[in-house]
Amino acid sequence: FPYTLRESLIHMEENQTVKLRILNGHTESFAMHIHGHKPTITHYDGVDNGPGSYIQRDVHGMVPAQRIDLALSGIDDGLNSFGQGIWMFHDHVEKSFTTDGHGEGGDISLVVYKGFVDDKGIPMAHGMSLAPYFAKSLWQGKYPIWQDYDAWSSLGLPDLSAEIKPVKKAVQVVVEKASDAVFAANKPEEPSAFGNLIYGLFLGLLGYTAVVKRQPILDAALGLTEMAKAKWLKK
């Protein structure tokens, strides 16, 4: 591809059935996929094993040197075909539909229905140009083929020579609420760090004294408890 458009097209008509004889000349497996159709395999290596061996599906796999015959139907019923037009077919392996890693390339070609080729026999690709596929820059990886998919080239590479204008920074002005001002005025004053230090030292000394003098404190507490209990019994 794109030279397959000149020599490897499959020409179709509506409601027509085309017999395709395919040979896998690769040294690896081959997966034939014809877009918009579900062809039926009828022969394996030239042998018809009967209707029970016929398989209709999207992708037909082949090992090296294998031959298969496919019946490609142009009946637009949503099963055999999904309508007239231009449909791609290719091997379902990435290196087969790319050329030196660039796509689309490789062995991609097209099924073309009657009325969709020009007077030179080239498919009429509506909405896109085939010219980029014949440009050297594409195959050198310098031209992103997808950049022309829409009118304003939104998918293209950025223009590195364009003038860069700094964007103005937005500054948000926060207006203080009246309720926030009242809350701030009524908020109790927090103690200073020095006050917290003195308070912590006092609690530490109090705890230390309670631990060291715990026995006398316990004896005094028991004595007070006994005295209170005796007074309560006299009443």
Where residue 169 falls among pLDDT bands split at 50, 70, 90?
low
CATH number for position 40: 2.60.40.420
Averaged pLDDT score across all residues of the chain = 80
Residue with tokens 């408890």: 225
For 182, the 3-state DSSP assignment is helix
Cis amide linkage into residue 104, ω under 30° from 0: yes
Domain boundary residue, one of 148, 173, 204: 148
**Domain count of the chain?**
2
For residue 41, CA distances in Å to 37, 80, 113, 140, 168 come to 13, 12, 21, 39, 65
Confidence bin at 173 (pLDDT 50/70/90): low
Q: Please say if the pLDDT value at position 193 is more than 90.
A: no
φ and ψ at residue 72, rounded to 5 degrees: -100, 110
| Residue 89 shares a structural domain with residue 17 | yes
pLDDT in the model for residue 159:
56
Say if 157 falls within a structural domain. no
Give pLDDT, residue 137. 78
The answer to whether residues 36 and 140 belong to one domain is yes
Residue 200 lies in a domain: yes
Tell me the per-residue pLDDT of 110-160, one tens digit each, with 9 for 90 and over.
899 988 888 888 888 766 677 777 778 777 777 776 666 666 666 655 555
Reduce the DSSP state of residue 4 to 3 states and report it.
helix
Same domain flag for 137 and 213: no
Q: Name the band, by pLDDT with cuts 50, 70 and 90, for residue 105.
A: confident
In a domain, 123, yes or no: yes
Give pLDDT tens digits for 53-81. Answer: 999 999 998 899 999 999 999 999 989 99
Which residues constitute the domain of residue 227? Answer: 193-234
Position 159 in a domain: no
